[in-house]
Amino acid sequence: MTDEPYEFATWTSFIPESEIRRLLKYNVPYYFGGGKPGALPIETLAQILIDLGNEQLAEIKKGNPERPIDDWNYGATPGKAFLRKTLAERLMDKDGITLDSEHPEEDIMITTGSQQALYAIIDTCIDKDDVILTTSPAYLGFLMPAVKLGARVITVPTDLQGAIPEYFEEAIKVCKRELGKKPEMLYVVPDSDNPKGTTMPKKRREALFNIAMEHKTMIVEDGAYREIQFKGQQEPPIKAFDTENKYVAYLRTSSKEAAVVRIGYSVFPPRVREHVNTDKGYLDLASPTIVQRMLDIYYRKYIDQVLPKSLETYRKRAEVMGKAIDETFPPGHRTDPTGGFFIWWESDDKDFDAREFLEQMALPNDIIYVPGVAFYPLMGLSYLPDRKQLVPVERALNTMRISYSYSTTEIIDKGIRKLGGLLKKALT
């Protein structure tokens, strides 16, 4: 009982604040928490603002205020045509994605961050008790909305190459048999996933696409780290196999590759797009036009020039973090990312509780990471391949996601060695 004179919706009683959002409040020197981009092209971004401002002033002085007024105004719900066109061309050229041959830009939808696209697609496709299959672990920004919106989330084990298609297929069959329904959605992050930093090889991507086609279910492919690839070859997106735009919802974002200006861009199958667009119309009407204008300039003129420098910074940071972990952590395993923002570490000591350790040891010593427990659903089921069975959701508490994206190599080296020392003391 509270002394509020009113009541809240049921979800407020069991959905907590996002662990990542909660941890963002701590301002500690050794910051390995949220996936904040640290190698932003700030000079370029500042120049874009200046150029855009000057352009507007010139138009206003000439007595043509129409475009500046439009830039500061409400825009169409699916986004401004100029940005959709620029991004459509980029997705076709760089990633081999097939879009409508006459009006490719109409296949692109702009959202307020890809987070809004994730929320809206669950909201659009999932009724209470519908089933979603995803990886174990998975991005918490997908898991929480899925649980909040009533989905039954089933997690499927992963390895160092990310999602394992055979397990997904087995899990689909077990769902049909035991729950009497097929999953509505398979959610994966194939390029340097959050939280593990693993990447699916081409064969797995194609296999997962074929499974979705065969079982008539949709893949939600989250390509948040698609452009943040600093080592090895790029595999095609799963979306590239979906030449008829039928089975894959492909979500991308400017947050990691440009700046955190809350713009995501997606390719949805047409009917999905229609419904997501309706949803967005009620969620926030439209995403800010002026930000779309800025990004249009960035993607047309600058990204290929400035992104390689950021990637080199992330590569060095990942390398320094990996080395410091290898040299100082107690027995355990870690991932070796070829892109993205994260290393995932798992202690060999199954009783280790990374959340407790964060509160009691890491934070008091000015270090922050995200305990792995945050990346498993609050409730749901896990598919166990050895037993070919669904069991109550399994969580690995002895894990942590350590982000190298924000801090400098010096901070990473010092902070990770300090964390290693503390872990060794606690675990040996």
**Residues within the interface to ligand PLP (CB under 6 A):** 35, 113-115, 139, 141, 189, 194, 222, 224, 253, 255, 264
Cβ atoms of residues 408 and 314 within 8 Å: no
Q: How far is CA 221 from CA 121, 267, 331, 354, 401, in A?
A: 12, 10, 34, 29, 21
Instruction: Give min distance, CB of 270 to ligand PLP, in A.
Output: 22
Instruction: Give min distance, CB of 418 to ligand PLP, in A.
Output: 25
Q: For residues 78 and 286, what is the distance between their CA atoms, to the nearest angstrom?
A: 7
Instruction: Give min distance, CB of 5 to ligand PLP, in A.
Output: 35
Number of residue whose CB is nearest ligand PLP = 113
Radius of gyration of the chain from its Cα atoms, rounded to whole angstroms: 22
Strands 264-267 and 332-334: unpaired
Strands 370-371 and 381-384: unpaired
The residues facing 334 across adjacent strands are: 345
Q: Which is nearer to ligand PLP, 256 or 315 (CB)?
A: 256
Q: Which is nearer to ligand PLP, 58 or 160 (CB)?
A: 160
Q: What is the DSSP letter of 360?
A: I
Instruction: Give min distance, CB of 118 to ligand PLP, in A.
Output: 6
* 3-class SS of residue 195: coil
Q: Which is nearer to ligand PLP, 258 or 422 (CB)?
A: 258
Q: Which is nearer to ligand PLP, 37 or 183 (CB)?
A: 37
Q: Which is nearer to ligand PLP, 315 or 401 (CB)?
A: 401
Q: Of the candidates 169, 168, 229, 235, which has an alpha carbon nearest to the alpha carbon of residue 202? A: 235
Instruction: Give min distance, CB of 263 to ligand PLP, in A.
Output: 8
Enter the tokens of residue 251. Answer: 């979500």
Q: How many CB atoms lie within 10 A of CB 352?
A: 20
Instruction: Give min distance, CB of 70 to ligand PLP, in A.
Output: 24
Instruction: Give min distance, CB of 341 to ligand PLP, in A.
Output: 8
Q: For residues 153 and 158, what is the distance between their CA atoms, to the nearest angstrom?
A: 16
The residues facing 366 across adjacent strands are: none
Q: Which is nearer to ligand PLP, 68 or 340 (CB)?
A: 340
Q: Which is nearer to ligand PLP, 248 or 423 (CB)?
A: 248
Q: Which is nearer to ligand PLP, 252 or 418 (CB)?
A: 252
What letters, b where the CB count within 10 A reaches 16 and e where it falls short, cover 216-255? ebbbbbbbbbbbbbbeeeebebbbbbbeebebbbbbbbbb
Q: Of the candidates 170, 175, 163, which has an alpha carbon nearest to the alpha carbon of residue 131? A: 175
Instruction: Give min distance, CB of 62 to ligand PLP, in A.
Output: 36
Instruction: Give min distance, CB of 140 to ligand PLP, in A.
Output: 9
Q: Which is nearer to ligand PLP, 124 or 347 (CB)?
A: 124
* 3-class SS of residue 74: coil
